Amino acid sequence: MEPFKVHILGCGSALPTLKHFASSQVVEIREKLFMVDCGEGTQIQLRRSRIRFTKISAVFISHLHGDHCFGLMGLISSFGMLGRTAPLHVYAPAEFETMLQAQIDLFCHGLEYEVRFHAVDTTVSQVIYEDKSLTVETIPLQHRVPCCGFLFREKPTRRHIRRDMIDFYHIPISQIDNIKCGADWTTVEGDTIPNARLTTDPDPVRSYAYCSDTKYMPTLHKLIEGVNLLYHESTYDSSCANRAELFYHSTSQQAAMVARDAHVGKLLLGHYSARYDDETAILQEARAIFPHSELSQEGMSVSVL
């Protein structure tokens, strides 16, 4: 199977700490790299991760709070100094476009590549990016400012042709693609060999949902049903449930409820409040509801399976 990984660059919240960086991830899928949120310190984390970050083709910004976007301007500037020529696509709430362009004009005059801005409607679930191998959909969330998550979903691949069948029936190379697409094979004797005998099932479709800052949404699970991997903010444990409600954040228990109701494969917790020196309580409370829960940490790479 082609690589499908989530690289955690930062999983802290708004206040800087010595333990966690602000929110940022890189989604690696079929040799493509996409950034999700870009808080301060993202460039340092990219260097540490040894990700070839010049290959990042698009940045998805969930909302306009600084811990999710303050690092973007520095990244754009560095791309310019590194001689980037390929366009960089930025997907973000519409309000960001004017400010981003003003910063580019001020700090990056004469930039030799194009930054293409795509306004995102955070109130609806829709496909905002598509290529031959995947789609990216928005996930409307409820925060203090317009906010959405992002759902990365592979497109179905073709069937796998069996090497022993190629050799046995002397199938020419010119016909392999047709058979992968479902065609049968007719031998020189006129016998039809059904496709099911010539091929094996394609790789299962994989998906990853990134749910940024949001209050608990009882119906959120309907939009992310069955995803292989879910990242859901878990700023607080249950002792701070009142603060979570006040500031439109979620507890780890609430994140686990979403994961359980959506029947996801694995839950990644993140966006920890700076009040926690140890996130053990956050993890324990989540696992009591959804056992396949895990703490995200900087430097972690998680395969989507």
Instruction: Cite the active site residues.
Output: 67
Backbone angles phi, psi at 41, to 5 degrees: 85, 0
Measured CA to CA, the distance from residue 125 to residue 222 in angstroms comes to 11
Q: Among residues 131, 95, 134, 97, which one has the least CA distance to residue 115? A: 97
Distances from the Cα of 69 to the Cα of 91, 208, 209, 226, 235, angstroms: 11, 21, 19, 29, 18
Distances from the Cα of 59 to the Cα of 69, 104, 126, 212, 242, angstroms: 10, 16, 17, 14, 33
Contact 186, 195 (CB under 8 A): no
From first CA to last CA, the distance across the chain in angstroms is 10
- Name the pairing type of β-strands 32-38 and 88-93: unpaired
- DSSP states of 118-159 as a string? EEE-TTS--EEEE-SSEEEEEEE---SS-BEEEEEEEPPPPP
